[in-house]
Structure 1
Amino acid sequence: MQQSICETTTRTTLRRMGYNSRRPHRVPLISTTNRKKRLQFARAHQNRTVEGWKNVAWSDESRFLLRHSDGRVRIWRKQDENMYPSCLVTTVQAGGGGVMVWGMFSWHTLGPLVPIGHRLNATAYLSIVSDHVHPFMTTMYPSSDGFFQQDNAACHKARIISNWFLLHDNEFTVLKWPPQSPDLNPIEHLWDVVEWELRALDVHPTNLHQLQDAILSIWANISKECFQHLVESMPRRIKAVLKAKGGQTQY
């Protein structure tokens, strides 16, 4: 005879076995090919010190939604199983009404944060590169020893962008970046800071103009200790990718 088990009994039994209800880490789904590329990148930079990472300027785009779901998915896992594949939730870029921004920073200073009023294409990105990346890199790294990081978004890899970088390769170097590697980019954690501060506001934005103003204000007030600490975490991030053999990490 088949017996049913109540939810309370199930929860109690799971806790006795060492499991607890937790939210799963959200990570990108990494292909086998890109795992290899991530591993190659980590091996190539495993001896790079914090001093070396200070010469890198990090960049990325992010979208902040006016209204969003809290994504309260929960799973049952043991304390040491947080990075098990069965305990992860893969992510995709969010949609909906919101504000898109592009930003950059280095160990030395926060860079510009640029609102993007439409979908970022190669022409719009070229304007960002020439108007914001170029002056930042030449000012921060006058000895031409700086590296500019960007991910592999289609607009970043367009021919007009590649040609522009070639024309300026005597001023700074574009860092060869592995695909599907937000965990290696410390600017992702600055986006988290902005998101946390937005949620903590006493008065929440009610329209996109207010949201943009709030994002710009939060970005301008991120502490130096915060973004420097993120750059200083790079050797640990590299070690984590090596340990995961190119797979997901806790970052």
Structure 2
Amino acid sequence: MKFEKYIYRKKIKDLPEELLPREKAIKYGLSSLSDAELLALSLGQGTKELNVLGLADLILKNKTLKDLKNLKLEDLIKIKGIGKAKALQILSIGEILKRVEEDEEKLTFEKPFDVYKYLKWLSKEKQERMVVLYTNTMNQLLGEETVAIGSLNVLNIKPRDVFYPALRYNAYGIILVHNHPEGGSHPSKEDIEFTQNIKELAIKLGFELLDHIIIGKRDYYSFSSNSLV
């Protein structure tokens, strides 16, 4: 957006106080900050062309903070203004997240409601998101990926975006989750076609599509509970 480009190219000291992550955190608490604002607070400063808010927003484009643990050094240094030192600073945040997750007991999905409870925050999102959960043979969470954000047409999501991480996590099971911000949770014709396509590809590639959960404003829909996977 033009407004964001304008804000991101101004010096931090010239921005209104209500846009500054540090002041916002002091006044309202860290929980009030967005993912990009939290990252900006951790980075401290931006580049010659982008202030720290713009840099954080660029790094997190179509990503969440959890995705930092999957970034590579070569991906970051391709961004203009990010050298090895800044890239390592960002990667260290991802490594901390990864180690914390490894120390926690693995989350197990025994029923569709467990998935809904885990990703219930999607019901409050104003944009559509497709999140894919990857599990082992015991339905324990190995990892998750946000494969699409925005005006979501599931038929345009590339299957490789779903299956490539499954190989990386050495996963057995795949659970698709997406939200309907403006309506109920009942699947569309496109949702059903997309799910069947992914199911067929999963079988061919040696994975199992365990479920596709659609999260609406007030409820959810499980494809497995309705015998659609």
What's the TM-score once normalised by structure 2's chain length?
A: 0.29
Higher relative contact order (CA 8 A, sep 6+): 1
What's the TM-score once normalised by structure 1's chain length?
A: 0.27
